Amino acid sequence: MPATLVVRTVFPAPSLFAVRPPHTCDFPMSRSSTWLPPLPFGDSLARISKDTSGCQRALSEAIPSLRSCDPIGNPDNFRQRAIAVRIKELCLVASATSAMTAKAERNDQTLLLVPFHGSTTLRSGSLSLTSAAGQSAIFVRGRHRSADTVTRGPRSSLCIALDVTRLASTVRDMLGLAPDAELPFDLDRDRTVPLIHGGISFDTTIRRLCNTVDAHVRQPAVLMMMGIDDAFYRTIAMALAPEQLLPSVLLAVESDDDANRIRQVCEHIKAHITEPLTLTHLEQVFGRGARSLQLAFLKRLGVSPTRWIRDHRLDLARQRLESAKPEDSVAAIATGCGFSRLSTFSREYAARFGEAPSKALERRRA
């Protein structure tokens, strides 16, 4: 069954947290009691709520074990808003809240909590983990433990609910490991995740991915076709294990059988041209990581894998337009060649061949 994408507005992120007022603040005191920082995405869509009733109902869908959800301090000053995007098994929740508490007795969801404004401390038994905006995130494996988080002051954050099986598969694909190979690092441990490694900022990458989500949040099907979920999984994998994954990504390994591997990838693309094709899946066919795949395509074919896929789809569409039957339409041909949006197909076809696809079809029927 093909994966679907659902966009829905919720009231905080699927994380367990307690928010308390700060001792100091970096915004005008005249608006400190109700001010909220911008959301990671969806600022124009998410509505503001002054109470937690809707919040608790929405959280209970993601965390059935949710026990309580209450504002801290004067309830009249409480404000929060959030928006959730679900892409296949990946759930992204952007939220901004003033002081409140939410606790759950058992959490079995794997999460990455990324602060965009402010800091957060996760507490579970004797475990205490702290993250700060622009510096670190918190990886939560779940394992049915009771937990809450403490966020000091108004905060904005991104909560990413993950499928740990897909995360592990992504790591193996990026390293070129067998599907059942042991991972070179532990995915079962709750921990703080640095968002900067050497000169690479995963915080910047995540923020730019959120910009992409924001740009298409009114057109969720576009996000699915872009493979934005794949980009999040790959970025999170590198943030969790930069020492293991970055050398594999940044240093391509050339070998004599690159030509055969590229041929296999191209044949696979042609056989699945009407389906969504992600880089992670193509890496699995290629047998090596992303950087190796990209460089092999550039070296032997002169274009990136995504550009080769697009060009092949356009060439195939031109062939079908030029041999179209009377009952064929531009829309049907575009869909049969893997294009989900007719406007995108028409624009890219005209850019490549210098005429609209409708003109090519009219010429065939003349």
Q: What does the pLDDT look like over 35-76, one tens digit per residue? A: 888 999 998 888 888 877 656 665 665 666 667 777 777 888
Gap between the Cα atoms of 8 and 83, Å rounded = 6
Domain positions in the chain are: 1-250, 308-365
Least confident of 209-213, 236-240, 339-343: 339-343
Please state the pTM of the whole predicted model.
0.62
Asked whether residue 11 carries a pLDDT value surpassing 50, the answer given is no
Q: What is the mean pLDDT of residues 209-231?
A: 90
Mean pLDDT estimate for the chain = 79
Provide the percentage of residues in the chain whose pLDDT is more than 90: 19
Which residues fall within 8 angstroms of residue 312, CB to CB, at 6 or more apart?
A: 269, 270, 273
Q: Tell me the pairing of strands 18-20 and 145-152.
A: parallel
User: CATH number of 1-250: 2.60.120.10, 3.40.50.2300, 2.40.70.10, 3.30.1490.20?
Assistant: 2.60.120.10
Which range is least confidently modeled, 21-30, 136-145, 339-348?
A: 21-30
Q: What percent of the chain has pLDDT over 70?
A: 80
CATH of 308-365, one of 2.40.40.20, 1.20.1260.10, 3.40.640.10, 1.10.10.60: 1.10.10.60
